[in-house]
Amino acid sequence: MNSIGRILVPCDGSPPATKALVSALELARGRGAHVRVVHVVDGMERATGFLYSHAMLREMRIAGQLILDDAAAVCASAGIPHDTRLLDREGRRLGEAVADEAAAWGADVVVVGTHARRGLQHLVLGSGAEQILRLATVPVLVVREAMKAQRMAA
């Protein structure tokens, strides 16, 4: 794995995404790898059938930039070379936007967090990590959120 030079990390500000970012920084450390953190502005038009106003999309972009700024601060404090990108979905699914960015940037690996939802939640909400796994042309490392019982025991 020493040939890893570019690590792409999609981040939505959730605990699983933060855990994935920390894992990506650990992977980058000692390899001289560069981390690119991306946030996808996702209006979920397909899932909701609702078209968002320009004002709502502007607020989503502002919130996404704040998430990226926080992630950049984490990368900087770890001393890892990094950059951030805000990706407007433009009608594409989350997985498509991340897979396209990974290919365009020449990422060696995508590190993504997952909520590990099951049952109805998974059916209704889907899985961004699953989309990325199916669509990415580079290896994908999935970092799973700890199970509730494990968190309670800690």
| pLDDT tens track for 110-123 | 999 987 655 444 44
On the question of pLDDT at 7 being above 80, the answer is yes
pLDDT band at 146 (very low <50, low <70, confident <90, very high): low
Give the model's pLDDT for residue 50.
56
**What average pLDDT does range 89-95 have in this prediction?**
76
pLDDT tier at 128, thresholds 50, 70, 90:
confident
* pTM of the shown model: 0.83
Q: Which domains are present in the chain?
A: 6-153 (3.40.50.620)
Which residues, at least 6 apart from 135, have a Cβ–Cβ distance to it below 8 Å? 95, 96, 98, 99
How many alpha carbons fall within 13 Å on the CB side of residue 87?
Answer: 27
